[in-house]
Amino acid sequence: MPLSKEVLDSIAFAEQMGFSKLNLLPPAETREAMKHAPVVAIPSPVAKVVNTTISEYNIPVRIYIPNGTGPFPVVSYFHGGGFVLMSIDTHDEICRQLCAGSNAIVMSVEYSLAPEHPYPAGPNDCIAATKWMMKNAAMYNGDGKTMAVAGDSAGGYMALYTAQKLKAEGITLNAQVAAYPVTDHYSSKHASWQKNKEGFVLTAAIMKWFWDNYLTDASTFDEASPLRTPDFSGLPPALIMTANYDPLRDEGKAYAKKLQEANVPVIYKNYENIHGFFGLGEMGQQAMQQACIFLRENLNSNPNLISNMTIKSVD
One-letter amino acid of 191 = A
- Return the CATH number at 214: 3.40.50.1820
Beta strand 59-65 pairing with 266-274: unpaired
Domain assignment of residue 195, yes or no: yes
Is the model's pTM score more than 0.85? yes
Residues with Cβ within 8 Å of residue 254, at least 6 apart in sequence:
183, 184, 190, 227
Give the pLDDT score at 23: 87
CA–CA separation, 154 vs 103, rounded Å?
24
Domain assignment of residue 157, yes or no: yes
Domain assignment of residue 315, yes or no: no
User: Where does the chain show beta strands of DSSP type E?
Assistant: 48-54, 59-65, 72-78, 105-109, 142-152, 175-179, 238-245, 266-274
Report the candidate in 267, 257, 258, 274 with the shortest Cα–Cα distance to residue 291. 267
Cα 289–52–164 angle (5° rounding)? 55
CA–CA separation, 252 vs 157, rounded Å?
10
> Whole domain around residue 19: which residue ranges?
5-306
Domain assignment of residue 210, yes or no: yes
Q: Which residues of 9-43 are buried (b: 16+ CB within 10 A; e: fewer)?
A: ebbeebeebebbebbeeebeebbeebeeeeeeeee
Overall domain count for the chain = 1
Domain assignment of residue 314, yes or no: no
Domain assignment of residue 311, yes or no: no
* Active site (catalytic) residues: 153, 246, 275
State the burial class of residue 195 (Cβ atoms within 10 Å of its Cβ: 0-12, 13-18, 19+).
middle
Report the candidate in 198, 190, 195, 202 with the shortest Cα–Cα distance to residue 227. 190
pLDDT in tens, the chain (315 residues): 688 999 899 999 888 878 888 888 889 888 887 777 777 889 999 999 999 999 999 999 999 999 999 899 999 999 999 999 999 999 999 999 999 999 999 999 999 999 999 999 999 999 999 999 999 999 999 999 999 999 999 999 999 999 999 999 999 999 999 999 999 999 999 999 999 999 999 999 999 999 999 998 999 999 999 999 999 999 999 999 999 999 999 999 999 999 999 999 999 999 999 999 999 999 999 999 999 999 999 997 444 443 333 333 334
Domain assignment of residue 144, yes or no: yes
Domain assignment of residue 312, yes or no: no
SS3 107: strand
DSSP state of 121: H
